[in-house]
Amino acid sequence: MIYQLSVPAAVPGVEEIRILEWHGGAGSTFAAGDLIVELETHKAVVEVRAGQAGILREIKAEPGDWCAVGLRLALFSDSADEPLPEGDAAATDILVDFEVT
């Protein structure tokens, strides 16, 4: 199954975030609790951690890029060889936990 990671509405009033650092690349495997990506708001860093296991397949926004809340940051799948959808076809949101520091 294909999943998407979108920018979480982690901080009230924040409409757009900046990508700080990815903790893995295409092909990286994540277990529940692993740090996926750090996002930067005006005041805080948002740590996005996997809420379920998955394989990171494609990153849509690089460090330094800006991305609005709700937009897609990356695609994940259960197994490494599942074909990715074309374009922006809807995908289930991957479960995540996030911590604002």
Partner 1 sequence: MLYEQKPVMARMFFREAVTRAVREEMTRDPHVLILGQDVGSFGGSYREFDGLYKIFGPERIRDTPVAEAATVGIAAGVAAAGYRPLVSITYMDFLMLGFDALINYAAKLRYKTAGGLSAPMVVKTTAGAQGQGVAHSQCIEAWLMSVPGLRVVAPSTPADAYGLMKTALRSDGPVVYIDHKRLFPTPGDVPVTETSIPFGQACIRREGTDLTLVSHGYMMRVACDAAQIVAQDGISCEVIDLRSLAPLDIDTVAGSVERTGRLLTLEEGQTVCGVGTEVATRTFERTGPKPWMRIGALPAPVSSNPVLEAACIPDAPRVADAIRTLLTR
The distance of closest approach from Cβ of residue 46 to partner 1 in the complex, given in angstroms and rounded to an integer, is 12
The DSSP string of 4-20 is EEE----STT--EEEEE
The distance of closest approach from Cβ of residue 42 to partner 1 in the complex, given in angstroms and rounded to an integer, is 4
CB 4 within 8 A of CB 57: no
Using CB under 8 A, which of 1, 9, 15, 32 touches partner 1? 15
- Contact call for residue 20 and partner 1 (CB under 8 A): no
- Contact call for residue 93 and partner 1 (CB under 8 A): no
Q: Residue numbers of the site for partner 1 (CB under 8 A)?
A: 11, 13-16, 18, 41-43, 66
